[in-house]
Copies of this chain bind each other. A is one copy, B any other.
Amino acid sequence: MRYSFDELVAFSTQLFRAAGISGEHALVTARRLAEADLRGRAGHGLIRVAPYLRRIRAGGINARATPRIRRQSPTSAQVDGDNGLGQVVMTMAAELAITKAAGTGVAIVGTVNSNHAGAAGLYTEMAAEAGLVGLYLAVASANGMPPFGGTDPVLGPNPLSIAVPAAPGRPFLLDIATTAASHGAIKVARQRGEPLPVGWVADREGRPITDPDRADEGFLLPIGGHKGSGLTIAIGLLAGVLNGAAFGAGVVDHRLDDVTPTNTGQVFIAVRADVFRPSEPVPGDVTRHLDELRRAGGDTLRLPGDEAARLRAENTEKGVPVAADVISALNAEAARSGISDRLR
């Protein structure tokens, strides 16, 4: 079923408000989640509302959080999330970095005591829409990958997003994790009964696991072996350790533990696109180069951001598709909170 973006945001906002979240924070979180669905990133969309509400009720997320700037300079800041919803904390951090960089050319903002913030590309897209490059790094909210050559899964699929302004509404937008497959992709394969490609999951002896029902017995594998493993660690050091946030064995699995604060750390760097040369040619040159790559690639090529932009346009017109079980979960939460509205 498809729903209007505004209806999904309004409904989800109600649910968060009913759980004690302030109106402003409820709206920001609902928007970020619905924006993920709008772009076809359902894994970071409204499917997260129920687990977030569960964590809020259990006390693992601070419903009354007041994220604040703990330390700042004209080019930098750290936002202490006060264990509030990650979308609220990261939206504040990204906006702060974008505002600072618009003035100084480049800025870096980190977060501490934050939480899972959903689709990384939403934050870098904010930068691209303002004419800036956005770079987002975060410590994933669950581990599952050993450092390359090891067997203890103390690393996670840390996300990395880079957006570069191009044509309006069509930025270059890379949004990846450093593992070959996400937990979500494995779940999809399991639902479809399809074998996992070699390179996604391995057992303790490094042998491939291709049976999706046995995926939990193994580890996620990094892209490019030691390269992806090293990149994951680099992201963890920058987003986690520099901020004094969790990394490695200290990461709390937010899927299994609803109570312990995750102390999630994120980093956002914004750079004005005209930092090296006048702004006039830059977005046009980016578009020209991307078009060149599209021609070089032929029909099978999809550049980072193309599919999200296409789906955003299509779903804005036709409505945002949301899976029936997600709608059921949202309606169940409404019933639980004494809200009479239902998504139909």
Contact = CB atoms under 8 A, between A and B. Distances in A.
Interface in A266-309: 269, 271, 273, 275-277, 281-282, 285-286, 289-290, 292-293, 296-298, 300-304
A238 interface: yes
30 contacts: A71-B277, A73-B105, A74-B104, A76-B106, A78-B276, A78-B277, A106-B108, A106-B269, A108-B271, A108-B275, A133-B238, A147-B296, A149-B302, A150-B297, A152-B297, A152-B298, A154-B292, A154-B296, A164-B237, A172-B234, A176-B224, A180-B224, A199-B199, A224-B228, A233-B290, A233-B293, A236-B289, A241-B289, A242-B275, A242-B282
A25 B152 CA distance: 47
A223 B133 CA distance: 23
Nearest to A109: B276
Q: Which of A78, A105, A243 has the most CB of B within 10 A?
A: A105
A301 to B, nearest CB: 4
A71 B333 CA distance: 56
A162 interface: yes
Nearest to A166: B237
Interface residues of A, number: 74
A301 B76 contact: no
Contacts of A237: 164, 172, 286, 289
Interface stretch (A38-46, A244-252, A256-264): A244-252
Nearest to A300: B149
A293 B147 contact: yes
Contacts of A231: 160, 162, 174, 176
Interface of A: 71, 73-76, 78, 104-108, 110, 112, 133, 146-152, 154-155, 160, 162, 164, 172, 174, 176, 180, 199, 223-228, 230-231, 233-234, 236-238, 240-244, 247-249, 269, 271, 273, 275-277, 281-282, 285-286, 289-290, 292-293, 296-298, 300-304
Contacts of A176: 224, 227, 230-231
A236 B174 CA distance: 13
Nearest to A273: B242
Q: Which of A73, A148, A151, A174 has the most CB of B within 10 A?
A: A174
B150 A301 contact: yes
Contacts of A281: 244
> Across chains A and B, which 6 residue pairs bring their CB atoms closest together, nearest first?
A223-B224, A150-B297, A152-B296, A230-B304, A149-B300, A78-B276
Contacts of A76: 105-106, 275-276
Contacts of A74: 104
A242 B300 contact: no
